[in-house]
Each structure stands twice: as C-alpha cells, then as structure tokens.
Structure 1
Amino acid sequence: MDERILVAYSEIGTKGKSTRPKFERCLINNIKATGAKFKASRSGGHIILIPDSPKDVEVLKERLSRVFGVEYYALMKQVAYSDLEDLADAVVKMYCDQIKGKVFRVTARTHETPGFGSMDVMRVVGARLVACGGKVNLKKYDMDVNINVRRNSAIVFDNMYRGPGGLPIGSEGNVLVLFSGGIDSPVAAWMSMRRGCRPLFLFVNLGGKDSLERAHAVYNKLCELWGNGPFEFLVADGTNIVQEIKACVSPAFRQIVLKKSFYALAGRVCRERKLDAVVTGESIGQVSTQTLKNMWGIQRGLDVLFIRPLAGMDKQEIIKTAQKIGTYDVSIDVGELCNISKGSVKLSAKPWEVEKEFSKVAGVVNETDVTRVTLEPAAPSQKEKKIIDLDKESINPAMLDKNKFYVIVCKDGVRASLECDVLRGLGYDCTGMKRSALTKNKESYPSK
C-alpha cells in the first residue's frame, strides 16, 4: 500500500526530549486500540502511519478525530528530492490536474534544508501551480497544499482533519469518575480523558435495575465514541445509605451527607486500587451541595485528590459540551435520583457540622460493597408498546398484560424508574423515563 497518514500533535511537542517519547508511544498505543493495523514511525514532531490495508485506512480516517492527543491528521505522500526544482516537480505532478480552476495556497515548513527556506518553497511551488490553472488566495481558498520539507525528503498533504487535541489517555495516570450518567459527569469524564487520564467509573445506584441500565447506556456511548477501552464500570448499591440518611440525618444536611457518602465510597475505591484522583462533575454554585463551603465540608477529612473539571463552567456550557461529544441525547434519559431532602438545604455548612451528621451513617457507607458490572445493550422489544404516565394514572399490576411492553413516564423520571423496577420483579417488560425523553423518542414509543 502507498497510503500514509500524517498524525500531528501540539501539546506533546512542548514536552522535554526525555519525556516526549513516552507520550508518543502512549499515543501510538491508543491509536492501535482503534483496531486498525499499521506500522508507525516518528518524524520531526509528527507520527507517520502506514496502514496494512484499505480497510485500516478507513478505520483510521474515521477514528483519529476521536483519539486524544491528535491535533490533526491527513493523508500524505512522502517524496524524495535533490533540489528545490526537483521538489516543485514532484508537487506539481501530484496536484496539477486537481488545482485547475481552484483557489489555493501553499503552506511550507522547512527544517535543515540546504540552500532554501519555506518562503522559497511557497514562491516556486505556488508559481508552478498557477501555471496549471490555479489561483492564489491566502485567506479564502479551496485547497491548502502543505509541504513539510526536511533535508532529503518532504511530506506533502492537503486536506487536514481535526482531532480533539489534549494528551493521550493513560499518559497522566488513572482516575475514578463519580458517574451518575446525567449531563455533567460524562462531560467531566471526557475532560479528564482529554488531559491524559485513564478513567474507571463508579455509579452509586439509588434507583434499581432501570436506573443502572440508563447510566450504563451513557457509559457505553462515552466509551464507544471516545474510549480506547472499555473501561471498568463499578457499581455500589446506595439504597441502604439513603434509608439511613432519611432515618438519622437532619433534613437540611441530607443532600450534603449523601454527597459526602459518595465521596467516601470513591475515596475508598481510589485508595484500594491505588488510583491517582477522583473526578466529579461539580460546577461551583450550580446546586446547593456545590457551594464552596459545602464542597469543602464534604471533601474535608478525605485523603484523596479531587478534580472538578467543570468547576468554572455554567450549565449551558456543560450542555453544549455534552452535545458536542455525543452524550447529551442519552444523558437526558437519566432521572435525577439524588434529591432526598425535605425543605431547604444548608448552603454554608461548617465542616464540623458535616462530620457530625455524616458520622451517623459512616458505618453503613463503610459496609457498602462496590462491584464490577458489565451489561450488554438491551435489544429493542418487539412487543406492542403502551405508555403509562404516572402523573395521569396509577399502576395496578393486576390490570397489566405481560405480552405488552410498558413505557412508564413522569416529570423527572424518578418514580417511573422505581415503578419499572418493581414491575420487572413481577415479570413485566418495561422501561421508565422522563416525559421529555418520551417526546424525543416518540417514533420509538408511539402512543397506544
């Protein structure tokens, strides 16, 4: 095969000579995780991939846009030359037919070239391509002919495709992501992955099997689009923690203690597995548990590094990022199950107050097991579908038909998820969701 792909990085290029090879090896290994087969070499701040087959070329063209550490990539040709005119001949042979009637520019970079520089390359090659029928415009152009020239050979390419940038996954260590599957936590996971962190995911399940499946679907989407995994998905059953909090903790502190319970579970897993940090989806001031004073009270006493990639983002910025990375449409199906407070939540809890309230449930938190879970995506049901809106009617299992598939909805998805879990235990086939998610999926769940 003659096809080659140029992979360019930017941030890796700022690393020192002693550490840069480690990052380059990590990036090459992550590209291999796409499933494509290729040979790789490193050249002048770039990585050159030589795919084994046309199929591998297509895989790389599709997946490199989602490999962290890749700034851009392009199909390229490598040409040998003896002097500047010889180089211009090679480039004209490649582009003369393509350039006719098009607006173009030439972008050249030179390194250790004998007797000429980048401006010389652009002037000579540009003039020759104009003679082929092209027109030069440095700002508005149809084609950008790039020529990276070294002492005895040059890399030539035109169409560049953007990658996500950042650092290769695994180059900065391993983190545990506190993962709800909602809009925020997948974005936090993505941002930590873009900074070179390899994630494990911890989901504290407060809503039964249906809630677990919805969170796992978001995890699957994130791994499918951006992972070189899959990564481990860990689950803790948080129902006993919630029951203990409701029974023992003052109402104004319940949300805060629940969040500290999540932190304590994450800290324990982090220490047991010798991970480097815990990643959370918190944004300063977004909700009552995310005021600065409450976040300090929640984190205090836990000997673990906590990273909050979304700290300075507002909700609209987080939503836009979720849409960009492809998790938003799956995340909006996930119900908010963490609201267990009655009345207002303390906004400026003192650390000693949080510790006092948390001590009432610490024993249950310490006894909560964390297990690894793997779920296969559920196949769509072929049964006749029927919608039950819990805000309009109640459910009587005796009146339901086990030959039908029930779509249970409510405003926030919480009751729907819990009711569905009960029905599944009775042998019924169902799913629960927010009413807004039903509107989004109206073609999949037509009204009956």
Structure 2
Amino acid sequence: MHPPGADTVLVRHGDVNTKSNTVKRYMEGLLVENLEALLTDRSIPGEVERRWNRPLIHTSEDAIEDATDTVTDVFGVVSASPALTVSTEKARIIEALEETARACYNGGTFAVDARRADKTLPYDSEDIAREGGTAIWEAVADDFEPEVDLDDPDLTFGVEVREDLTFIYLETVPGPGGLPLGSQEPVIALVSGGIDSPVAAYEMMRRGSPVVPAYVDLGDYGGIDHEARAMETVRILSTYAPNFDMHVYRIPGGETVDLLVNEMEQGRMLSLRRFFYRAAETLADRVNANGIVTGEAAGQKSSQTVRNLGVTSRATRLPIHRPLLTWDKADIVAKAREIGTFSDSTIDAGCNRVTPGRVETNARLEPLLAAEPDDLLERAATAAADATLVAP
C-alpha cells in the first residue's frame, strides 16, 4: 500500500551504518550500483539518488510497487518504503496526511510515526505526530469511528522529515539485510543443485561475497537431470546479481566417483567431500577466490557430523564457510522457497546411488587416508584445472 501520488522508494540499510565514514561511503556506492543494476535488469523505471544513509529511487506511481519489490531483493537493503515526497513545510505535511488518510484508511486502528532529522525546523516530531493524528482523525471521522493505537496499530502513517524533503509512507517492506554484494572477497560456491547449497551461496552473497559457482560432474552417478537442477538454481541466484558473472565451472569428477564406488565402502562419502574441497581450492587459486562455501549443517547427514566435518576440512588450506551450520532443515527449506530455488532443488536426479550401504559417522583422518586412493587429491587438482565454464 502506498500514499496517492507516491513517487519515491525510501531505501534503508543496516550494517553499512556500523562502518567508518570511508568504508560506509564505499559500501553505499556499491549499494547504489547494485540497485541500478537490478532495476535495469528487471526493466523497472527508476532513478537512483545516492544520499547519506538513505538512497532514494525516484519513479512513477505506476511503477512504485514493482520498484519496491525490486529494491528489497538487493543485498544490503534492510527495508524500503514506497513514499510520497512533499516539502518540509508543516502545513503541507499535514495536508498530505489528510489526503493519504482519505485514500487509504478505511477502518481499524492507526498511529503516526514521525521522525525529524533537521533540528532547525520550527517544529519537532511530536508536533507532526499530534497534529497529523488529529488531521487523519478528522479526515475519516464522517465515514467511520477511527481509533488510535500507538502500540500495535492496524495502519501506521510514517513521516520522515529530512533536510529538504519529507517522505510519507504506509508500509515498510523488509529486505535481505546484510552487506552490498561486492563488499567482500569472492568465494567458490560448491553447488550440487540440492536444497542446501543454493541457500548457502545466497547467504554468502547476502554478506557481500560474490560467488564463483562450481559444479562437480558425477558422471554416470549424476547425469543430465543432476546437472540441470544445479544450473537452474545458479540461474535463479544470478537474478539477484545481474551485474556479477555467475557462469558455472563444471569440474569433471565421474572417473573419480566411479573409482571411489568400486574401491571404497566405509568413508566413501568423506573422501568424495575431500575431492570436492581440493578441487575447489585449486579453482580458487585460478580465479582468485578466498574461500569455499558449502551447504553443510552440523549433523544433518552422516558426512556432516562434527567429527567428519573436521576430518574432511583438512583437505584444503582455505577456509570453508558454512553459513547453514546451525540451521534446522525446515528453516533451510523455507529460505529456499523464499528465494525461489526450492522447486528445482527437489528434482530426483539419482545421485544418492553414490552413498554406501554403511555410512561413516565418526571418522579419523589416518584410517581414511589409508583407505582412499593415494592420488585422490592430485585427481582433484587435475579435475579443477580441466574445469570448463558453462552458462547457467
């Protein structure tokens, strides 16, 4: 819902405000670039104005809702409000509140949440809240009995008075929060096309890290459907970052998977994880990435017990980022639905045939090294060197 004549999206960021002025200025610049890129990619008309603490999207009333929806997909945005801009003259603010009430307030409780940034103005936020509330009441009193509720109103009239403009809005739409994409170093995202890995990649993007997607081709144990679902989840992730390269590195792993299936029973899945990690490390050196992100969660699978994670992690010198480490599966599924990757992640691709009949939950490194092929990590490095780029 927006006031009649709404022409601006008021954008708010959060963690950016905790930075020094120099870093904050840099991150706000990235945020503006990312806002512009997403608006352009989705063909939403809007001009981004960079302001200290509050980037603005100037658009038309016809496009205001689409612009708000787009803005709240941008990493680093905490929330956004479709707003009407008026002058800082108190009489004009009160008049705009009356007009908004007549158009949008049709029952229930209400409140006025007023804030004033410019302390030199001849009124304060309490004046706006009190006089604005009276004006709203009188504007609708002939149609129904209005009621004020300052604690939990059905409708809140937001008023934000800045140095030269006032913004009037009726809703605050949450965004992903985090940091602007590009404010942190890139990481390799191991994507399998399952439910977890795209969500983990999204969470790293939300904290500012561009991801370099890497898919390990499992050969006969994966197949066309396995690869297709991985590519589709990356394609969906790319819609949140149209100004970043999201081509996928396809790493050949079929021969190694076949070798592990034929030669290993206990610990097979752990050795396969070690293969993934070393391949990702080699690829990271190639593309100047600074870590690896996976969708692993403590205890979710046999290969993801705390002990097993410790054993498999030693295959790489790079940090392995596991943003879902403490998440429950239900929360991961909910996030996958929210960002749009869930449907494709649930396609049955048959890759569970790699899993042995007896799983290892309490591995130790030395016995695992003795059981796995001596050249496993060399195979991984070679596979990563042979990786090819594929468009998602």
The aligned residue for residue 105 of structure 1 is 111
Q: CA deviation at 1:61?
A: 3.1
| Structure 2: runs of 5+ lacking an equivalent | none
Q: For 1:11, give the aligned amino acid.
A: D
Larger Rg: 1
Alignment partners' CA distance in 2, 1:58 and 1:117: 30
Q: Contact 1:11 / 1:167 at 8 angstroms: preserved in 2?
A: yes
What is the SS of the residue equivalent to 1:222? Answer: helix
Q: Which moved more, 1:354-363 or 1:190-199?
A: 354-363
Q: Does 1:370 align with 2:387?
A: yes
Query: Displaced runs of 4+ in structure 1, greater than 6 A?
Result: none
The aligned residue for residue 65 of structure 1 is 72
Q: For 2:179, give the aligned amino acid.
A: L
The aligned residue for residue 180 of structure 1 is 192
Distance 1:156 1:58, change over 3 A: closer
Structure 1 length normalisation: TM-score? 0.76
Q: CA deviation at 1:341?
A: 4.8
Q: Contact 1:103 / 1:141 at 8 angstroms: preserved in 2?
A: yes
Alignment partners' CA distance in 2, 1:366 and 1:96: 67
Q: Does 1:33 align with 2:21?
A: no
Aligned residue runs from structure 1 range 311-322, under 5 A? 311-322=325-336
What is the SS of the residue equivalent to 1:77? Answer: strand
Q: For 1:347, give the aligned amino acid.
A: T
Q: Does 1:264 align with 2:251?
A: no
Structure 2 length normalisation: TM-score? 0.86
Deviations 1:74-118 (A, max 9, x none): 222222234x44543454355445446564211011123234322
Q: For 1:322, give the aligned amino acid.
A: A
Q: Contact 1:3 / 1:77 at 8 angstroms: preserved in 2?
A: yes
| Number of aligned residue pairs | 371
Q: Contact 1:100 / 1:132 at 8 angstroms: preserved in 2?
A: no
Distance 1:44 1:70, change over 3 A: same
Q: Contact 2:223 / 2:349 at 8 angstroms: preserved in 1?
A: no
1:351 is aligned, of 365, 381, 386, to: 365
- Of the two structures, which has the highest relative contact order with CA contacts closer than 8 Å and spacing of 6 or more? 2
Q: For 2:365, give the aligned amino acid.
A: P
The aligned residue for residue 49 of structure 1 is 57
The aligned residue for residue 160 of structure 1 is 172
Q: For 1:278, give the aligned amino acid.
A: I
Alignment partners' CA distance in 2, 1:274 and 1:213: 26
Q: Contact 1:252 / 1:341 at 8 angstroms: preserved in 2?
A: no
The aligned residue for residue 238 of structure 2 is 223
1:294 is aligned, of 295, 303, 308, to: 308
Q: Does 1:88 align with 2:88?
A: no
Q: Does 1:131 align with 2:143?
A: no
The aligned residue for residue 77 of structure 1 is 84
Alignment partners' CA distance in 1, 2:387 and 2:172: 45
Alignment partners' CA distance in 1, 2:199 and 2:348: 14
The aligned residue for residue 19 of structure 2 is 15
Q: CA deviation at 1:203?
A: 0.8
What is the SS of the residue equivalent to 2:77? Answer: coil
Q: For 2:10, give the aligned amino acid.
A: L
Q: Contact 1:283 / 1:308 at 8 angstroms: preserved in 2?
A: yes
| Structure 1: runs of 5+ lacking an equivalent | 376-448
Q: What percentage of residue pairs aligned between the two structures are identical?
A: 27
Q: CA deviation at 1:364?
A: 2.6
Alignment partners' CA distance in 2, 1:371 and 1:251: 30
Q: Contact 2:212 / 2:248 at 8 angstroms: preserved in 1?
A: yes
Distance 1:86 1:219, change over 3 A: closer
Distance 1:177 1:334, change over 3 A: farther
What is the SS of the residue equivalent to 2:168? Answer: strand
Alignment partners' CA distance in 2, 1:227 and 1:286: 29
Q: Contact 1:267 / 1:278 at 8 angstroms: preserved in 2?
A: yes
What is the SS of the residue equivalent to 2:118? Answer: coil
Deviations 1:203-234 (A, max 9, x none): 1111233321232122223334x333461211
Q: Contact 2:193 / 2:226 at 8 angstroms: preserved in 1?
A: no
